[in-house]
Amino acid sequence: MRLFLIAGEASGDALGAALMAGLKALRPGVEFHGIGGPLMAAEGLGSLFPMEELSVMGLVEVLPRFRQLRRRIAETADEAVRLAPDALVTIDSPDFSLRVARAARASAPGLRTIHYVAPTVWAWRPGRAARMAEVVDHVLALFPFEPPYMEAAGMTCDFVGHPVVAQPRATAAEAAAFRARLGIGAEEPLLLCLPGSRRGEVTRLAPRFEQAIAEFRDRAPEVRVVVPTVRGVADLVRSITGRWPVVPEVVETGEDRRAAFAAGDLALAASGTVSLELAANRVPMVIAHDFNRLTWWMLRRAALIDTVTLVNIVSETRVVPEFLGPACRPGPIAASLVRLIDDKAARTAQFDAMALTMERLGAGGEAPGVRAARSVLARLAAPRRRHPS
């Protein structure tokens, strides 16, 4: 069996590596080609070109690098057609990967196509599913409520579980050691501050988070603050938080980050998948995010749901408080953090929602990478789907 895989960023590299490991366990001798990062390389993929070329191509970067992007799309599609794989498996990064799928299918109409990570059509831009169905046969979904949306558009779809349920977590002993190393007493509340993983997010949110934490400390002076971050923005985070009245501890390594999540008592976080990491570690949270006016206006007009927090969405609750756009103000954020310290019922409601979220995302079952591999193999054994002409 030969597969051509495409991942364009770190999260896709992790998904792809887990899928490859699952496929190798279920179908020894499978052959991999395509584009991926270091994790996929460790599973045996020789990348056509460095994945990092795609990782930097966000909305702002696309225009000045359009020619390079277009050249890479054509090069990747040509290679996929030349190798004639049993399937083209695209992993997230739809701006690149689905353009490759379209170009490859134009040259090889019989090429099977599988896309890993369903588009969030349940949140905004529902028309994306129909456009994707023009070039994708089968979808591997991270959330249990997504298959009906994909199937309604004409694709087959399996829920395979979210990778957060398989991520390693620190033990209680490791969490205690982390607190001890930082001189944080067992009775001192530890606040995790997570202002985003992109430079723009950090720059925009850090001043709001700084003020909110300052107001929170007025009500809970014993609180200690840790900022778990990622390598790409660690220097920026240290530069910004180093000017705060009370300088927090910044951690970025995987081991320290896991220990911080296990040791945290509550969190103030930007919106995103970090809410699932916090839920996996049972850390009650407040979500806050600000946008420029045009982006906020567009989001408000396009949104199909009334919450952006994945814990709220998956658990079908609204127990995690959100402060978005104009509501992202330090005073109300601080008051909500105080409530998490003072109100046991508010914490319990979040714990219940977190447990339900993890259960619904596949905790306790077969690893998502193996489930994804089983879905790929089953799809390749099934009859081909006819695409719209």
* 191 shares its domain with 140: no
pLDDT at residue 246, as a whole number: 82
pLDDT at residue 171, as a whole number: 97
pLDDT at residue 57, as a whole number: 41
* 237 shares its domain with 95: no
115 is a domain residue: yes
φ and ψ at 153, to 5 degrees? -85, -5
* 154 shares its domain with 267: no
* 219 shares its domain with 319: yes
pLDDT at residue 344, as a whole number: 97
How open is the CA angle 35-39-45, to the nearest 5 degrees? Answer: 45
Q: Which domain holds residue 191?
A: 172-360
* 126 shares its domain with 233: no
pLDDT at residue 64, as a whole number: 65
- Give long-range contacts, CB 8 A cutoff, 24+ apart: 233-242: 233/196, 233/197, 233/198, 233/199, 233/202, 236/199, 236/202, 236/203, 237/195, 237/202, 237/206, 240/202, 240/203, 240/206, 241/206, 241/210
34 is a domain residue: yes
79 is a domain residue: yes
Q: What separation in angstroms does the CA of 35 have from each of 115, 119, 159, 371?
A: 14, 20, 24, 22
* 146 shares its domain with 193: no
Q: Look up the pTM and report it.
A: 0.91
Nearest-angstrom CA–CA distance, 164 and 204: 27
* 97 shares its domain with 238: no
Nearest-angstrom CA–CA distance, 380 and 389: 22
The two three-digit tokens of residue 269, written as one number: 């976080």
pLDDT tens digits, one per residue of 46-83: 999 999 888 654 444 455 677 888 999 999 999 999 99
Q: Mean pLDDT for the chain?
A: 93
* 85 shares its domain with 225: no
Q: Number of folded domains in the chain?
A: 2
* 301 shares its domain with 374: no
pLDDT tens digits, one per residue of 324-383: 999 999 999 999 999 999 999 999 999 999 999 999 999 999 999 999 999 999 999 998
* 257 shares its domain with 307: yes
166 is a domain residue: no
**Segments of the chain scoring below 70 in pLDDT:** 55-64, 293-296, 385-389
Q: What separation in angstroms does the CA of 154 have from each of 103, 109, 133, 134, 379?
A: 20, 17, 6, 9, 15
Q: What separation in angstroms does the CA of 317 have from each of 349, 351, 354, 365?
A: 9, 12, 10, 23
* 181 shares its domain with 58: no
Q: Are the C-beta atoms of 312 and 319 separated by less than 8 Å?
A: yes
167 is a domain residue: no
Residues 6+ apart with CB under 8 A from 62: 69, 95
389 is a domain residue: no
pLDDT at residue 335, as a whole number: 97
* 97 shares its domain with 7: yes
284 is a domain residue: yes
pLDDT at residue 60, as a whole number: 45
211 is a domain residue: yes
CATH assignment of the domain containing 45: 3.40.50.2000
Judged by DSSP in three states, 189 sits in coil
